[in-house]
Chains A and B, each alone.
Chain A
Amino acid sequence: MHHGLTLAPSYYEALKRLTLELAGVKLGTDHAFLVETRLATLAQREGFSDLNTMIKELFNTGQTRLAIRVVSSLVERDTHFYRDQKSFKLLKSHVLPHLHRIHKGGKIRILSFGCMSGQEAYGIAMTVDRMKDQLKGLQIDIVGVDYPSQALERAQAGRYTHFEVQRGLPIRDLIEYFDRDKEDWIIKPSIRKKVTFKEAHLLSNLNELEDFHVILFRGNLTHYTGSAQVRVLRGLSTRVKAFGYLILGTGETLEHINYGFNTVARAPGLYRKREDPPEEIIEDPTIKKPTDKKTFEQTKRRKRKMIGK
């Protein structure tokens, strides 16, 4: 533990367990300072006299609302506009033009999953606006979901600081899509109305969400434990429409399980949902059937051997 930290080690361990259970994120011992600073701010905002009072209240009463506020504050990460340019390039060059060809005259829905303070969702809305001539006739609804948190409240307000609007956002986008309000910048109503923000527990049953043509889930995967990764990706796979897209961040892949998605050639991080959901695999030891090419080849070889005899 760092010097000057006030949180009892037992409470720190309990917070680590809580974060793992609720958010699937493992906090390390080197996160102690971050835990203290973030939770001290949260305690002040929630009206507690200090951090320890808030944590005592949390573990003595088991308040769900407070537990979610605490955990979402701990897993919140810094983000900026147009983070990970590659995904936006894929959206512009491949995903949106393709969906336009299929759904021209219709409506599509895009989900920013784990939207934090909303920069990704608004980035999509600005990208769509810049492509409005190319995407003529296509109505696009954008939804951002994340844990209930101060970041999500800021996303809903669409208000950003002087520092935030200078990270990743081209100056031309700033003057076209934001209004200045003293020290802050507020997203213009024309862009704001294209985006809806919702609270969601990212690891829980995602059936409450509607289906989407595109889901962006970027830069989050590596923060989850292995089992949480499987849980969240399995949940997301049920929310992508047939032939819809899943966009992961740079370096993130569906490594071991495909969840019903195919890779898209020359587009790392982009996955396309198959027409039909993958068949449920029923484990029955009494049924033997060839499951892959290797087995089939082995069977053929066996048959050839028998004929040769």
Chain B
Amino acid sequence: MYAEARLSLSPGRIVIYLLLGLYALYFLFPLYVMLSTSFKTLDEIRTGNLLSLPAQPDIDSWEKAWSSACTSVSCGGLSRFFWNSMKMTLPAMLLSTFIGSLNGYVLAQWRFRGSDVIFTMLMVGCFIPFQVVILPMARLLGMLELAGTTLGLVLAHTVYGIAFTTLFFRNYYVSVPEELVKAARIDGAGFFMIYRRIIFPLSLPVFMICFIWQFTQIWNDFLFGVVFGGSDAQPVTVALNNLVNTSTGVTEYNVNMAAAVIAALPTLGLYLIAGKYFVRGLTAGAVKA
């Protein structure tokens, strides 16, 4: 009965699959064009069809995008900026996630007078757009003499990210029975011991969510990068923009496409590796004791 029901394609099902197929095409189509164009030569792009596959896959444009394309004044490709982004994103992601985890642990399991007020204020922080933060953040980074450095960007992204990570962790830890913490206190564990031995080991799914969320947010950010990055710490998003906008006569679509894919690759990869945790974690309910 069950197998039959699964096999039968009712009209409703067919419509659903058709729609899903259309949506998938809609999103995959640009990716396809980007990838196929990036492997074509400039001649082929000019003469050929936008939709055709490259006649002779050619990786010159990738090499150029990575190591020799010009971004405004310098002509070293994206590689330097790619590593800038890594040096900014990884520490900021780790820092903001761990701080968010501790915050969430306190706000969920060690309620104190005013903890709900603090939580509400942090929630409001999630709704403050980047643009609002830019001026005060610029002043702060200037005073700390961190303007134009990777460290400054790490600080900006960490501070901005804490609101989100705290929200994620707090809402996850609220579902951890408070009796667990009580039992551990009676067993003799202190604040950090309880975190390390009991709360942290429960947190893998929510850590994954936060890692993905923060990595994507920080990696894809343009505004902080362009404002606080200066020329030395410029992240790959800003460099990509410069690369595309730097024209030396002919627009090298193949190089632009390759550069765009390079800039998007880390987040894409992260989703492929850890995406299942993202989906699972978003729906993760109470922790079963």
Do A and B pair up? The answer is no
